[in-house]
Each structure stands twice: as C-alpha cells, then as structure tokens.
C-alpha cells in the first residue's frame, strides 16, 4: 500500500464516527514521508461538552497492539493522534521543523518510527471502524 493511500486512513476512520473539523487530513508529508512526524490533529464537529466520543477513541487506541504504541493528546481545542514515542516532543516549538526529530531520536530511529506508523495506520483505522460498529455507532 502506498504512503499517500495510508496517509488519510485515520482521518477517514474518525470521520466515520462523527464529522471532523481539521485543515489537514494527511498524517504523512506528501512529497517526503520523512518530512514531518506522523500525526493527525483534529476535533469532532460536536458540542465541546461531549467528551464521550474522545474517550471511546482513546480506549480504542490504547488497546491497539501494533508495531507502535499510539496516544491521543489534547491541546487547547484539538486532539493529536500520534505514536507515543513522539508525544514528548509535541510541545516543542521545533516539533514540525524538518530535521528536529531525526536529530533528537537519530535518523535511523526516526525513519523506523515512520515506517512502523505506515504499517500501523491501516490496522488502527480498521480497528477504529470495527470497534465503533460493535458499540452501535
């Protein structure tokens, strides 16, 4: 499966649960898969007081056992779904700066995380849809 096909799968799975507000639907950089860290920033287009859907997504993600551990992080009015190994850098002003994470983690480790994320994304997206169907959504 090509990385450009994989890049929007999590967005599509979450959109299956409820409409999403986000300006960027891709988890990967289009031209260079290693150009930025794999993550999706989003929020559901639902009333803010309805945290139940986010809790459901967080439970699905925390029970996923793939090549990487994934995490859902809240920042202001948005949520970030990303590999856990990258989460400690989310608040760095350099997080999206090309070369920052490969410098922090080492180029081999950084590329390995992205390669593993590409393998995990289709399975995680399928699990989100599957678990939402089981619970009647």
User: How confident is the model over 8-66, as pLDDT tens digits?
Assistant: 999 999 999 999 987 778 898 888 899 999 999 999 988 766 688 899 999 999 999 99
Q: Which of 103, 99, 75 is nearest to 87 (CA)?
A: 75
pTM equals 0.89
What residue spans define the domains of the chain? Answer: 3-134
For residue 137, the model assigns a pLDDT of 44
Query: How far is it, in rounded angstroms, from Cα 25 to Cα 105?
Result: 25
Query: How far is it, in rounded angstroms, from Cα 14 to Cα 30?
Result: 20
CA 2 to chain centre: 17
Query: How far is it, in rounded angstroms, from Cα 67 to Cα 125?
Result: 14
Residue located via tokens 């793939």: 66
């Amino acid at each position: 499966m090509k990385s450009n096909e994989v890049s929007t799968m999590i967005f599509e799975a979450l959109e299956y649960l409820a409409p999403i507000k986000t300006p960027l639907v891709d988890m990967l950089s289009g031209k260079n898969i290693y150009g930025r860290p794999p993550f999706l920033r989003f929020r559901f287009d639902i009333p803010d007081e309805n945290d139940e859907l986010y809790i459901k997504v967080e439970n699905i993600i925390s029970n996923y056992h793939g090549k990487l551990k994934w995490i859902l992080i809240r920042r202001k009015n948005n949520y970030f779904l990303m590999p856990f190994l990258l989460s400690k850098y989310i608040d760095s002003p350099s997080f999206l700066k090309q070369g920052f994470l490969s410098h922090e983690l080492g180029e081999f480790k950084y590329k390995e995380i992205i390669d593993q994320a590409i393998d995990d994304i289709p399975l995680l997206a399928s699990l989100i849809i599957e678990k939402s169907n089981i619970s009647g959504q």
